Structure 1
Amino acid sequence: MLPHRSASVASVAPNTRETLSNLIQSNELTYLMEAHDGLSAAIAARAGFRGLWASGLSISSSLGYRDANEASWTQVVDVVERMADASSLPILVDGDSGFGNFNNARLLAAKLQQRGASGVCLEDKGFPKMNSFVGNRHPLADSDEFSGRLKAVKDTVPDMVLVARIEALIAGYGLDEALVRADAYAEAGADAILIHSRKSDAGEILDFARQWADKLPIVIVPTKYYQTPVSAYREAKISTVIWANHNMRAAISAMRATCGRILAEESIAGVEPEVATLEEVFGLLNYDELSAAEDRYLPKRA
């Protein structure tokens, strides 16, 4: 693993020395781009993003599972390792609800740190969880029990960024419950609060930000309220915006179109100008380094 990681680090942008904590604590609005494997991580790094979101939905989808804890935590950890190998950007991992109680959550966090993650985000639901945009069954965890999960993670990996994701608005409990939970999670050791909404406008998110009054950095995921201009987030002093699943969704659209055309046309001639060249693939994964290493380490040919 280590030679590949070293080679990949040399191939990405120089901003990779930033830490996730610096990004989230920054006074500037920060963007984290979704990635779900090594290739998408490398692409996001080349595009200029400064940090990555290892999306539970996207990782599950890429593995052929539903975002309902059907993929195991060990499978998620393996994918995160590939992302870290392919990019030296800091990675915030979608840890769902921690895959169980406090013990599962701290084990997950420790393994993620070993594999190259910079932070983990835990949501205040039970296990198994369902994707927040599917159906209406989203029972919340008891806030005291969930605070114990957060404390266990912080005690186990104190230098890892811990984001507490509040699902009270998703579950229909309203702003007051979200604020009460945010206070409890801040006291439990969270470094930032992710407030989530499934509405098509950002009203309740901005209301939360006003009442929260910048006690801890706020992270948001505007998948549903995507038409809100980012200027509104800057005015509300939002810390971090996660573009949470768009690499995966773009890949689905592109692959579906390509498969359809090749099948219909019985040829790749029509799609060839529209897909990435092999040279681009080789460049993303730093084949030049491997070629140079072969010249250095393998016997010279007669």
Structure 2
Amino acid sequence: MTVEGPGTPVPRGPAPSQPADRLRELLTSDSLGFLMEAHSGLSAKIVQDEGFDAIWASGLSIATAFGVRDSNELSWTQVVDVVGSITEVVSTPVLMDGDTGFGNFNNARRLVTSLCRMGVAGVCIEDKVFPKLNSFVGERHPLAEIDEFCGKIKACKDAQTVPAFTVVARVEALVAGHGFGEALRRAEAYREAGADAVFIHSKKTDGKEILRFAQEWAERCPLIVTPTTYHTVPTDAFQEHGVSAVIWANHMMRASIAAMRSACREVRQTRTVTGVERRIAPLKEVFDLLDYPELERASHRYLPQRMPLGEEVW
């Protein structure tokens, strides 16, 4: 018989799997997984409430929320602080967009050590040079040397303190115009260096080179895609070509920009909020999303309950 008391651990059945385990299971399962972008604790809670498999902590979206460009204008500690605010409020696995690792192998491995402490499930690093520029801006971005990037992957894997932590290698060869063969060569080198998954990127709108890559890749390790520009490709096609997961990479941020601009413009023009009230979230939804009722219940439990004025007992 177990007696419960202050500080007494009480068996509660099997411990829930950790976020890193669940992300690894997602990427290695036979079904297609879906990650939705988040850039704050609030957006992450919405993604979790809507039932997505995992959260993509987007570098573009986090930078945009700060009002700066996706060109390493934020320090890595600023980005990690935001990612920490996400993991504090959700249990859904978080895959962080780690850009290039914010420097060389040493910066990348320090990043991984920090993310493991915070409960982040994985990190994605891309084979561009630091400081990076967003993939959809400009042409022919310079890429890291393959050997240098492989060393960075190895450093990340050596630095992880959580066994199931996932290191994703993002291949930018197609975006940078280096061709299909170079993309495959780099992906295979990164897999051999220890990457747990490969992220193949493209900004062409028909998605043909992505599906071709997936077919040639033949499930050597989990493959991740982000159909930002080729969003008209049927999702089933990714599953049929052996893709493991799809990232909707910036849609929460872009949706919020459109909604905020619309509301701001209407209020400025009409000088009243009456018109926008029917289109924005009621305060009750805000309070429910952040669980204000729990705070009220906790207040009754932990704060002294004062008697109404005039009823004191003398």
TM-score by length of 2: 0.90
**Total equivalences in the alignment:** 289
> What do the CA deviations read for 1:244-264 (whole angstroms, capped 9, x no partner)?
000000000000000001111
The answer to whether 1:202 aligns with 2:207 is: yes
1:72 is aligned to 2:79: no
Tell me the secondary structure at the aligned position of residue 145 of structure 1.
helix
**Structure 2 match to 1:301:** 306
Q: Which residue of 2 aligns with 1:261?
A: 266
| Cα distance, 1:99–1:180 mapped onto 2, change above 3 Å | same
Stretches of 4+ aligned residues off by more than 3 angstroms: 14-18
For residue 137 of structure 1, report the CA deviation from its aligned partner. Answer: 4.1
**Partners of 1:114 and 1:160 in 2: CA distance:** 11
- Asked if 1:124 corresponds to 2:112, the answer is no
Partner of residue 93, structure 1: 96
1:82-231 to 2 correspondence within 5 Å?
82-157=85-160, 158-231=163-236
Deviation at 1:15, TM superposition (A): 10
Query: Which residue identity does 1:213 align to in structure 2?
Result: A
Contact 2:24 2:164 (8 Å CA) reproduced: no
Q: Distance in 2 between matches of 1:202 and 1:177?
A: 18
1:46 to 46, 49, 65: 49
Instruction: Supply the AA of the counterpart residue of 2:52.
Output: F
Query: Which of these two proteins has the greater Rg computed from alpha carbons?
Result: 2
CA distance in 1, matches of 2:18, 2:164: 18
Structure 2 residue 278 is matched with structure 1 residue 246: no
Distance 1:37 1:122, change over 3 A: same
Q: CA deviation at 1:16?
A: 8.9
For 1:188, give the aligned amino acid. A
Matches within 5 A, 1:13-28: 19-28=22-31
1:139-163 per-position Cα deviation (integer Å, ceiling 9, x unaligned): 0000000001100000000531010
In 2: Cα distance, 1:193 partner to 1:66 partner: 25
Q: 1:262 aligns to what SS in structure 2?
A: helix
More helix by share: 1
Determine which of 247, 256, 279 is the counterpart of 1:274.
Answer: 279
Q: CA deviation at 1:48?
A: 1.0
Q: Give the whole-Å Cα distance in 1 for the aligned partners of 2:140 and 2:133.
A: 8
> How far 1:116 moved relative to its partner?
2.4
Alignment match, 1:11: none
The separation in 2 between residues aligned to 1:28 and 1:234, in whole angstroms, is 7
Match of 1:19, SS? helix
The alignment partner of 1:271 has SS state of helix
Corresponding residue number in structure 2 for 1:232? 237
Aligned partner of 1:113: which letter? C
Deviations 1:168-217 (A, max 9, x none): 00111111111111111011110100000010011111111111111001
Structure 2: unaligned runs, 5 residues or longer: 1-15, 308-314
Give the distance between the partners of 1:93 and 1:252, measured in 2 at CA. 22
In structure 1, C-alpha distance between the alignment counterparts of 2:280 and 2:74, rounded to whole Å: 30
Q: Distance in 1 between matches of 2:38 and 2:98?
A: 14
Q: TM-score, normalised by structure 1?
A: 0.93
In the other structure, the counterpart of 1:3 is none
Check conservation: 1:86, 1:285, Cα contact below 8 A: no
Unaligned 5+ residue runs, structure 1? 1-13
- Distance in 2 (CA, whole Å) between partners of 1:246 and 1:228 is 17
